[in-house]
Amino acid sequence: MPETDPSISPQCVRCGSDALIPDAFFYAEGYGGAKLSVGVYKKPEAALMKGPVRTELKLSVCGDCGHVEAEAADFRALWAAYVERLSREFGR
């Protein structure tokens, strides 16, 4: 994963990694008991065929304080799509 200057890049509050996707979105499927997903677009500038890549969210809730943590089931697929998008945006 690329390393960047931590003074200008946001970092994960849990692990300190700078491999963050700043514009991920939530996607809910179905009715009643909907599964939540998180995703990124490979081509956000496209009018159609944006190339969404999404994965299910895994949630955990603290029984003492109610803190909720969300974890992407296939975070590697999201990161690969984001890196592909960046290479297209900045590789020109």
Residue identified by tokens 């939530």 is 26
d(CA 29, CA 44): 21
d(CA 1, CA 18): 9
Question: DSSP class of residue 7?
Answer: T
Coil, helix or strand for 81?
helix
> Model's pTM, two decimal places?
0.62
pLDDT digits over 46-68, tens only? 889 998 999 988 887 777 776 67
pLDDT digits over 7-58, tens only? 566 678 778 888 878 767 666 666 666 678 889 999 888 889 998 999 988 8
